[in-house]
Structure 1
Amino acid sequence: MKKVVLASAVVMLSASLVNAQDLEQVKKTIDAEKYSEARKSLKSMINASPDKGKNYFYLGQVYLDLDKQDSAKIYFEKGRAAKDAGHLNLIGLAHVDFLNGNKTSAATNIATALQSAKKKDTEEQIYIAKAYMNLEHPDYPKAVEAAKKAVASDPKSALAQLTLGDAQLGNKNTNDAYAAYRNAYDLDNTLLRAKLQLAMITRNAKAYPESIKAINEVIAINPNYGPAHRELAETYFAWGYSDLKKYNENTVKALESYRKYMSLTDSSVDSRMRYADFLIITKDWKALEAEALAIQKMDKVNPRIYRYLGYASLETGKNEAAIKAFNDFFSKTDPKKIKGRDYLGLAKAKLSYAVDANGVLTNPTKFNEALVDLQKAAELDHKLSGEFSELGVKMYKQKAYYEAAKLFELALKNKESKTYTLDNYYYGQSIFISSIDKTAEQKLAMKPEFEKANSAFAEVIKNSPTTQDAYLNKGKLNRVIDTEESKKTALGDYEGYVKTVVAKGEAELSKDAVKKNLLEAYTFIGSSYAATDKVKAIAAFEEAKKLNPTDAYITQSLQVLKK
């Protein structure tokens, strides 16, 4: 009987060791971003050892890396009941909770998981840190706190040091991140991810040649380490984007490196979609279209294919196909996975049908639909305002001024935008020009737009007091509004124009365009003061006469005022 029990124990111990060895290999496979291979291995291990909670946990992590939260949650839920290390899956569920905005449930799951942890909770704290980091809006201070606990739990854990480096880097503490990555690599020089991250610190400093050299050192150690080729691709692209003279050359190198990365990971749908995502970044639209069609043959139901077809169709001029593809994507995908840029793409396609080349609004329905899409885009990603501005400028150049104003108004919702001041100027100009030929009744209906336009010009003046045309065009706008109140405002605007131009000196005053504008300003100022302040009126008309001595109105006005 004792022999039987002993034999059984030996078998169980042997199976446990085999599972541990298998899991360590799978971890390396995940680190190498061979997700399809890792997924197959973990599913096989779950079937062989359904009581091992870590197998479920790491499979859930793979699905999180692939942005498949629903699948991840399924395996975390199954794994939480496992006898061995089932509690780890609560941390996985906490990560899903964070992604869904459920912080209370996440905190409960983390607390429960830690109650079941052993004295050394290194692995638990590592993945708690990752849960805080791998979010749309990461909480890096909390990640640093968890990663430090992991290091304290096991100072010799290279993975704990690596995680601390990631957290510190996200927390913009570059020096501490560098030290943690270096410690991780010193503890385990097979952990190429740590050495690669040192190169990423160099890239973040925009030292692109040095970063490429450091990445190539990683590749020299292991030419088959896929992530190094991916980072090389992204570094070449960042360098090309930073230095437009090298854009074409470096984009070619970026795509070559990414294709190498693909060959070293797998040719699964997931892998090819990562490549498609990179093609969007590099704006290789024809290649994106070909890749999307190839993926569609492999997986006809994956909604992301429609996203790729949407972008590819939009950028290759197939706007109707783009509208259909984006709408298919929106109807078939999880709303949480829709990005602001997706709505922007749909809006661009619709705008192509809204206004003709002469600036005539030919399809108001499409235009209004595009505005709604842009509003959704802004709600999801306020940083897109710069692109709203580009759309506005394009429409402004087409002389569709009122429609352009609508686009600039959306862009102005982001006050941190680099184009914020310029967008205010364009908005004011768009309203001014679109209102010139309006009837009195139509102008009355435009009162809200006039108020916004005045505020927009005022914002330009506040942010850039020497922009003389902001004063001039604000004055012109208020003359078009043509109310007693607006005429008083226009007077101040024209006086601001004169003061700004005069302060710039003779070089500015000698320009023909400036002389023309000064003539307009002085004439209006003189007319405005004629009934209330003869001294100011005469002074203004005399300046106007210097610019145009033969103007009958100016001459007659001076004669009347000097009587």
Structure 2
Amino acid sequence: MNLKPWKLTLLAALSVSGTAALAQNTTGAQKSIDLERYSEARASLLKQGSSSEASYELGRLYQMRDMPDSAAYYFNRIPLNQKDATSLVAAGRAALAQGKTAEAEAQFDNAVKASKGKNAQVYTMIAQAYAESDVKDITKALTYVDAAQKLNKSGKDDPALMIARGDIYLKSETGGGEAMNSYERATLADPNNVKAYVRKGQLNMRARTYNEAKTNFDKAISLDPNYAPAYNALAETYYFAGRYDDALAQFQKYSSLAEKSLLLMPSMHPSCTSLRNILRH
């Protein structure tokens, strides 16, 4: 299946100009990344200097842009401390970004040891690292998901973990069912989780169940009318369903909310050329 839902679909990842008001902190930068406002996130994080939090998010941002060396640079900018699980996760992500899977696994295992295997958040961070990577073998990644779930005593799923679980399963050709189950669990745990509804819709779209996809994207938009990726995904849904006027309308909404960027090259997305031609007319 090889769907990478954390990557841009119709627009390029980063523009160096034309950004909106900057996010004021790391949480704001994380939100900007979710909203596909990568220049905004980058500028905000750079203003925060070399803090570990900012470096971590910059590493994620560059990994999403398929710039592994830059991603590794920012992850490695966090001082390595064998007693600090977060720094070890960052070191693992640096290795993972550069395809050094064995080294990444060693650092992740060190992070677990540093937290004495009792911190579900550490396991979740590692699961997210795999979810946002190009690693195709999901076996090791799922062990961290399972470990996080075992530490959950509340009986209620963690939406962030469930989304990571779904994204991991999407790396498998036969993982669509488990991915959808994961996103469903995320929405049950948090009925206001916009990202989970978008993920569900993206899976519906790949299965060509366009009505279900539209339902999920509409739900995401109803929860957050400014969530640009939902309009982008809805535009694709309409496009593949042959509803070109509706596709154009949704893409224009996306363009009004998202960062101003260049369209991807046609070879990177099959619908891009046609949508660009529609926009020209």
TM-score tier by shorter-chain length is 0.7 to 0.9
Does residue 280 of structure 2 align to residue 282 of structure 1? Answer: no
Contact 1:226 1:261 (C-alpha < 8 Å) held by counterparts = yes
CA RMSD, aligned part only?
3.3
Give the superposition deviation at 1:34.
2.0
Quick one: structure 1 residues 136 and 74, their matched pair in 2 at CA, closer, same or farther if it must change by over 3 Å?
closer
Quick one: structure 1 residues 132 and 208, their matched pair in 2 at CA, closer, same or farther if it must change by over 3 Å?
same
Quick one: structure 1 residues 156 and 287, their matched pair in 2 at CA, closer, same or farther if it must change by over 3 Å?
closer
DSSP-derived class of the 1:79 partner: coil
| 1:37 counterpart residue number | 40
Quick one: structure 1 residues 282 and 102, their matched pair in 2 at CA, closer, same or farther if it must change by over 3 Å?
same
1:409-558 map, 5 Å: none
Contact 2:198 2:216 (C-alpha < 8 Å) held by counterparts = yes
Contact 2:35 2:228 (C-alpha < 8 Å) held by counterparts = yes
Contact 2:131 2:164 (C-alpha < 8 Å) held by counterparts = no
Structure 2 distance, partners of 1:152, 1:280, is 39
Query: 2:27 is matched with which residue: 24, 27, 50?
Result: 24
**When the two structures are aligned, how many residues end up with a matched partner?**
251
| 2:158 counterpart residue number | 157
Percentage of pairs with the same residue: 25
Give the superposition deviation at 1:60.
0.9
Give the superposition deviation at 1:192.
0.6
DSSP-derived class of the 1:162 partner: helix
Q: Deviations over 1:124-177 (max 9, x none)?
A: 323322333444452223333222222333455221122122223444344443
Quick one: structure 1 residues 112 and 66, their matched pair in 2 at CA, closer, same or farther if it must change by over 3 Å?
same
Q: Provide TM-score, normalisation by structure 1.
A: 0.40
Q: Provide TM-score, normalisation by structure 2.
A: 0.73
Counterpart amino acid of residue 32 in structure 1: L
Structure 1 distance, partners of 2:79, 2:236, is 37
Contact 2:85 2:122 (C-alpha < 8 Å) held by counterparts = no
| 1:145 counterpart residue number | 143
1:127-206 map, 5 Å: 127-136=125-134, 138-154=136-152, 155-171=156-172, 172-206=174-208
1:193-342 map, 5 Å: 193-239=195-241, 246=242, 249-250=243-244, 253-267=246-260, 272-273=261-262, 275-277=263-265, 281-282=270-271, 284=273, 287=276
Which runs of 5 or more structure 2 residues have no equivalent in the other structure? 1-23
Which runs of 5 or more structure 1 residues have no equivalent in the other structure? 1-20, 240-245, 292-563
Structure 1 distance, partners of 2:216, 2:117, is 38
Contact 2:126 2:144 (C-alpha < 8 Å) held by counterparts = yes
Structure showing the higher helix proportion among its residues: 1
Structure 1 distance, partners of 2:63, 2:165, is 20
Structure 1 distance, partners of 2:275, 2:196, is 36
Quick one: structure 1 residues 280 and 163, their matched pair in 2 at CA, closer, same or farther if it must change by over 3 Å?
closer
Contact 1:57 1:89 (C-alpha < 8 Å) held by counterparts = no
| 2:60 counterpart residue number | 61
Structure 1 distance, partners of 2:94, 2:213, is 34
Q: Deviations over 1:503-547 (max 9, x none)?
A: xxxxxxxxxxxxxxxxxxxxxxxxxxxxxxxxxxxxxxxxxxxxx
Give the superposition deviation at 1:224.
0.7
Structure 2 distance, partners of 1:110, 1:174, is 26
Give the superposition deviation at 1:214.
2.3
Counterpart amino acid of residue 211 in structure 2: P
Quick one: structure 1 residues 215 and 280, their matched pair in 2 at CA, closer, same or farther if it must change by over 3 Å?
closer
Quick one: structure 1 residues 123 and 234, their matched pair in 2 at CA, closer, same or farther if it must change by over 3 Å?
farther
Larger Rg: 1
Of structures 1 and 2, the one scoring higher in RCO (CA 8 A, sep 6+) is 2
DSSP-derived class of the 2:99 partner: coil
Structure 2 distance, partners of 1:33, 1:189, is 22
Counterpart amino acid of residue 79 in structure 2: R
Contact 2:169 2:178 (C-alpha < 8 Å) held by counterparts = yes
Counterpart amino acid of residue 179 in structure 1: N
Give the superposition deviation at 1:79.
1.1
